[in-house]
Structure 1
Amino acid sequence: MEIDHLGVAGETLESAAAHVEAALGVTLAAGGRHARFGTWNRLLGLGAGEYLEAIAVDPAAPAPGRARWFGLDARTGAPRLQAWIVRVPDLDRALAALPEAGEPVALERGDLRWRMAVPEAGALPWDGCFPALIEWEGAAHPAPRLPEAGCRLAALEVAHPEAAALAARLAPHLDDPRVTFAAGAPALSAVIETPDGPRRLV
């Protein structure tokens, strides 16, 4: 299990992208649409197979007929860092160990193909602080295609009232010193190294 990307959600894609750009002082690249969930995104490369996406409900898309991922159906208020997504080599095996992550859903965008665990209700467990699980199919991945923006993920803090229990739940599967857990109200906070120095994204 390793970090694949971070998701910043907003009521609109424009607001989500503006939140990231203001926080980091960089410009996001075009992304695309996710027909299965009726969402769209813009992207920022973080190097080393990692990236960040600003994501929101696509107003031009038909209703997906099921709850959207990341709890976007109930997304209100200011944009924020909403999700962290971890890459696994075998989604079915990962779900056998972490069934609360959801059910596997096959997805595609252009030539990208992947499977992702999505809870039936859309929102991730542990008040949205549990990582989403993704398995990419084939060699295609968004990160190498994105412009080099000089940004890298330096740290990710996962806050939750039961942070110790969440950390213990993930410890057998995740070994990344950049990820820490802290007791507090449910929230994600990332430190991103940028060309202008470290910036915090919440």
Structure 2
Amino acid sequence: MTPSIARATRAALLLLGTTLAARAGAQPLGTVAPDLDHVIVGIDSLERGIALLRAATGIAPAVGGVHPGRGTRNALLSLGGGRYLELMAPDPRQPLTPRSAALAGLRELTPIGWAARTRNADSVRAALVARALAPGPVLPGERARPDGVTLRWRTLDWGTDSAEFGPTPFFIEWDPASRHPAADAPAGCMLADFALASPSADSVRALLGRAGLRERVAAGARDGIAVTLDCPAGRVRLGPRVP
């Protein structure tokens, strides 16, 4: 499959899958990115990323924990409305992985991915399979917080053609027994805008509209994610500038 076809396939899957997620129980969260659970911002060093975010926002992200076997660790900021920002960086105590190697090349705070929320990942997957698509399996995940509390979730991606990061989200179903990170991450910032950038913005925008999604898509030289936050220190923009 060529890169252009793969990108188009992922965009179409995004549209269909997010609609299915809504039917499976995703909760609308307002007019800005209603399907968003969290946005992932990459950086080469967690300590440096925390310092950069604190300087930009006026709020210090709280260290979240590590992702065992994936080579990464994170820190979190609440964005209001049940959403949060996940700052992700390599974990120097774990072996290098493709994910952590990619993050190691990011010197600036860079939005790299996002998660769409659902209450039932199995229902989303079954609906995708019924439509002759080939999503990946629903996979369990967990991490331990610094206070020893373990958070658990399940995720779903698009299978062999899926990009780990980029404008196409993965789906996340939080364990009902786990406290959602947005509930106790440092608060004070609010999500003001969220947009996806793509070289094929017109086609992506049309597909999003047919799916009833309100995420904004702008033309860009490459795939990207633009995030605007209103914070105590002022307005903060991460990612490419979009009209």
- Provide TM-score, normalisation by structure 2: 0.68
RMSD: 2.8
Question: Among 147, 155, 160, which residue is 1:116 paired with?
Answer: 155
Question: Among 142, 157, 162, which residue is 2:181 paired with?
Answer: 142
1:38-187 equivalence runs, <5 A:
38-62=71-95, 68=99, 72-75=100-103, 76-79=105-108, 80-95=110-125, 96-97=127-128, 102-110=136-144, 111-118=150-157, 123-124=163-164, 128-140=166-178, 141-148=180-187, 150-171=188-209, 175-176=213-214, 179-185=215-221, 186-187=223-224
Deviation string 1:71-109 (CA, Å, 9 cap, x unpaired) is x44332323111121101222333443957744321012
Whether the aligned pair in 1 keeps the contact of 2:59 and 2:186 (CA below 8 Å) is no
Q: Which runs of 5+ in 2 are unaligned?
A: 1-21, 23-34, 145-149
Question: Which structure would you say has the larger Rg?
Answer: 2
Letter of the structure 2 residue corresponding to residue 25 of structure 1 = G
Q: CA deviation at 1:131?
A: 1.4
Whether the aligned pair in 2 keeps the contact of 1:8 and 1:20 (CA below 8 Å) is no
More moved, 76-85 vs 90-99: 90-99
Letter of the structure 1 residue corresponding to residue 128 of structure 2 = A
Deviation string 1:118-174 (CA, Å, 9 cap, x unpaired) is 45587337xx111121111214211112233x1111111111011233334444656
Aligned partner of 2:55 in structure 1 is 22
More moved, 32-41 vs 21-30: 21-30
1:23 is paired with a residue of what secondary structure? helix
Aligned residue pairs total 192
Pairing 1:200–2:243 present:
no
Question: Among 27, 30, 34, which residue is 2:67 paired with?
Answer: 34
Q: Which runs of 5+ in 1 are unaligned?
A: none
Higher helix share: 2
Higher strand share: 1
More moved, 136-145 vs 72-81: 72-81
Q: 1:146 to 1:173 in 2, by over 3 A?
A: farther
